[in-house]
């Protein structure tokens, strides 16, 4: 049995080589100046998206759900709480969470702040379509309110 050949985009593909991407301890060990993304996976040809997020003490990510993708969260440093409809989940360094698609959650950083890695399947690229081509299932959904607020 022969495998079908891959279609070429005309650009050379990067070789499939394992590589170190960042030192999470070094990135989170710096004095926190602000909340936000400290690192993100940006390599071409990837099938995953990943981010290293830092929240300062008391920062809050508003309640939201990811309708299409499962998400893994690994707490790297600090502490906080993830609120879910089923109850509060304590967040401390080393905790690994699975958030199935459709699950609802919010996060608040504790007094020491919070840093965590998120990993999920890469979202497909943006597509331009005529409005008449959209079905209710493919129509754009409104974005949740600002993802982060200070309390």
- For residue 52, what pLDDT is reported? 92
What percentage of the chain has pLDDT greater than the value 70? Answer: 72
Tokens of 4: 């079908």
User: CA-based angle 69:71:75, to the nearest 5?
Assistant: 165
CA distance linking residue 121 with residue 135, whole number of Å: 23
**Whether the model pTM is above 0.75:** no
Is the pLDDT score of 98 beyond 60? yes
Q: Which residue has the higher pLDDT, 54 or 128?
A: 54
| pLDDT reported for residue 26 | 81
What's residue 13's pLDDT?
64
Average pLDDT over the chain reads 79
Average pLDDT on 77-105 reads: 95
pLDDT digits (tens, 9 = 90+) for 29-38: 877 777 888 8
What does the pLDDT look like over 62-89, one tens digit per residue?
998 888 889 999 999 999 999 999 999 9
pLDDT at position 35: 85
Residue 4 binned pLDDT confidence (cut-offs 50, 70, 90): very low
Report the pLDDT value the prediction gives residue 5, as an integer from 0 to 100: 46
Length of the chain: 151
HEC per residue, the chain:
CCCCCCCCCCCCCCCCCCCCCCCHHHHHHCCCCCCEEEEECCCCCCCEEEEEEEECCCEEEEEEECCCCCEEEEEEEEEEEEEECCEEEEEECCCEEEECCCCEEEEEEEEEEEEEEEEEECCCCCCCCCHHHCCCCCCCCCCCCCCCEEC
pLDDT band for position 135 (cuts 50, 70, 90): low
CB-CB neighbours of 58 under 10 Å: 15
């Amino acid at each position: 049995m022969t495998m079908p050949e891959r279609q070429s985009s005309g650009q050379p593909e990067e070789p499939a080589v394992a590589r170190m991407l960042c030192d999470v301890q070094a990135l989170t060990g710096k004095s926190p100046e602000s909340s936000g993304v400290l690192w993100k996976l940006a390599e071409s040809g990837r099938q995953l998206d990943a981010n290293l997020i830092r929240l300062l003490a008391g920062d809050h990510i508003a309640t939201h759900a990811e309708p299409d993708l499962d998400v893994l969260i690994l707490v790297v440093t600090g502490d906080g709480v993830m609120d879910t409809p089923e109850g509060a989940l304590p967040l401390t360094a080393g905790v690994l969470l699975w958030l199935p698609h459709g699950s609802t959650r919010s996060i608040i950083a504790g007094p020491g702040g919070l840093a965590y890695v998120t990993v999920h399947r890469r979202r497909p690229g943006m597509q331009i379509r005529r409005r008449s081509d959209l079905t209710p299932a493919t129509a754009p959904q409104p974005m949740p309110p600002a993802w982060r607020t200070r309390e």
